[in-house]
Amino acid sequence: MQIIIYDNAHQVAESAAKWVKELINKKPAPVLGLATGSTPISLYKQLVEQHKAQGLSFKNVTTFNLDEYHQIDPLNPQSYRSFMDKNLFSHVDIDMNNTFLPTCAVGENPRVQGLAYEENIKKHGGIDLQILGIGANGHIGFNEPTSSLSSRTRIKTLTQQTISDNSRLFKPNEKQPTMAMTMGIATIMNARYVLLMATGANKANAVKDMITGGVSAMCPASALQMHENAIILLDKAAASELGEQNYYQWAESENRKLIEHYGYFHNY
Ligand code: PGA
């Protein structure tokens, strides 16, 4: 794992945007894995700004989102499709036919839909760079604790903690979904690079378990310890429970020299 600690959440987003930008500029048909939630919003803002100010083009980009609520109408403002439209897609030149979410509409079989999503990712050559957040309970995507480390795209029942963490996003009269389709942990592990962003003190324990705990289904993000190219971007608050901060910072300054010389990606 490459662990990079920044002073604040803005710098985390700035750094994540640099990775995405380099992938888009270097690979002819890049495949991006996207996340929803509060954390990546500032990353998407930066990408939109770079599209407008510097012509960063999404024309040849294909995207696969991590998750989507089960049986939600895509036009529902609470759907992750709406989230992506609002925060990124409608502001850039992406071809909407190349934007995918793991949907399962009323009447569709979640198993068939999950398999089809996996096939579609394969058909596009796999995910080059997967953006991730982390839940306060260590989930990635909606792979809640006890999710199989070998899981693939499927339907999951959300934990009470996730439902209550996300309840802030729903108005009192809105029905909050309790099930979702999500990429599995093995799906995420197949991405060539993963870039996990975590900010705020409420993520500090999950971050500690992910990085310094054992690999366990009880902390799905700990699977990233087994990933060849996992980059973990933290602000100081999210890193506050880590014991080796000086080492991470020193390693990062050494790594930076390599990045300046060779770029961010060595295989994609
Ligand atoms: P958040 O969600 O960015 O809204 O904190 C992260 C997650 O649950 O993966």
Q: For residue range 144-194, what is the model confidence (pLDDT) as tens digits?
A: 999 999 999 999 999 998 899 889 989 888 889 999 999 999 999 999 999
Residue 46 CA to residue 15 CA, distance in Å, equals: 10
For residue 90, the CA-to-ligand 1 centroid distance in Å is 22
What is the average pLDDT across 112-119? Answer: 98
Dist. CA 19 → ligand 1 center (Å): 20
What tens digit of pLDDT does each residue of 29-72 get? Answer: 999 999 999 999 999 999 999 999 999 999 999 999 999 999 99
Q: Judge whether 94 lies within some domain.
A: yes
Asked whether residue 268 is domain-assigned, the answer is no
Q: What pLDDT, in 10s, does the model give residues 209-220? A: 999 999 999 999
Tokens 């079989």 -> residue? 109
Domain contains 62: yes
Q: What is the number of structural domains in the chain?
A: 1
CA 132 – ligand 1 centroid, Å: 9
Q: Let me know if residue 147 belongs to a domain.
A: yes
Q: Point out the ligand 1 atom lying closest to the alpha carbon of residue 197.
A: 3
Is residue 252 a part of any domain in this protein? yes
Task: Kindly give the pairing relationship between strand 179-182 and strand 154-157.
Answer: antiparallel
Query: Considering the domain boundaries, does residue 160 fall inside one?
Result: yes
Work out whether strand 99-100 and strand 2-6 pair parallel, antiparallel, or are unpaired. unpaired
Task: Please state the rounded mean pLDDT for residues 96-109.
Answer: 97
In a domain, 156, yes or no: yes
Residue 121 is assigned to a structural domain of this protein: yes
pTM attached to this predicted model: 0.96
Confidence category of residue 267, pLDDT binned at 50, 70, 90: low
**Predicted confidence (pLDDT) at residue 238 exceeds the cutoff of 70:** yes
Single-letter amino acid code for the residue at 110: P
Which structural domain, as residue segments, surrounds residue 36? 2-262
CATH number at residue 11: 3.40.50.1360
- The mean of the pLDDT values for the chain is 96
Ligand 1 pocket, Cβ-based, cut-off 6 angstroms: 37-39, 133-135
